[in-house]
Structure 1
Amino acid sequence: MPLDAIAETLQAGFSRVTLTDTLKFDCGEDGVIVLADGQVIRTDRDADCTIRISSANLDKLIRGKLNPMTAFAMGKIKISGDMSVAMKLGQLLKG
């Protein structure tokens, strides 16, 4: 799934949860997705928490095909910044 489609899926999650912090998915050369102020932004900016993940693994994560704890333990996800913000991701992805 391209990052634009992933961004649309994440935007739909904002109807279920309020995220007051900023969260950035850094997918390297594929680009970034930043969740901030109730919006999904495709331009890079500073965030309270940054999750470094490949776009393929981000796709699996949002489709429920990749367990975030397992991915973190295996090094498929790297988190920097406020870890509590990353923990809120589960609420956003619940469908």
Structure 2
Amino acid sequence: MSDVIDTIVAELAKKDTSGYAGTAKFVIKGEGAVMMDGNGVRAGDDEADVTLTADLEVFRAIFEGDMNPTMAFMTGKLKIDGSMGKAMALASVLS
């Protein structure tokens, strides 16, 4: 596992994911994937209700609150596959 993935897992683990009803996968191009559900965050590449794919810089900006996820999606910087409802529910968890 890469240091980048370890860092993302550690940062996302600080968020309260208990209210998220679903499984989300964050695919960081060139680095790997991180899974998140109501039980927490871990490195992995399992099946998910929603998969978000972007470059590290995009995810970093979203996680730090410098980039709006909706705008990232609308401008093609963030790709979303699967449940759009589950993707929208992530906004409250990540903020």
TM-score, scaled relative to structure 1:
0.87
Between the aligned residues of both structures, percent identity stands at 29
**Structure 2 unaligned spans of 5+:** none
Query: C-alpha distance in 2, partners of 1:69/1:37?
Result: 22
Shift of 1:90: 1.4
The answer to whether the aligner puts 1:75 opposite 2:76 as a matched pair is yes
Contact 1:49 1:83 in 2 (8 A): yes
Q: 1:24-65 deviations in whole A, cap 9, x for unaligned?
A: 001132100110241212011000000011112111110011
TM-align CA RMSD: 1.7
Structure with the bigger percentage of strand = 2
Gap regions ≥5 residues in structure 1 = none
Contact 1:26–1:53 (8 Å) recurs in 2: yes
2:27 is aligned to 26
Residue of structure 2 aligned with 1:12, choices 14, 17, 22: 14
Number of equivalent positions? 93
The secondary structure found in structure 2 opposite 1:89 is helix
For CA contacts below 8 A with separation 6 or more, give which structure has more relative contact order.
1
TM-score (norm 2): 0.87
- Residue type of the partner of 1:82? S
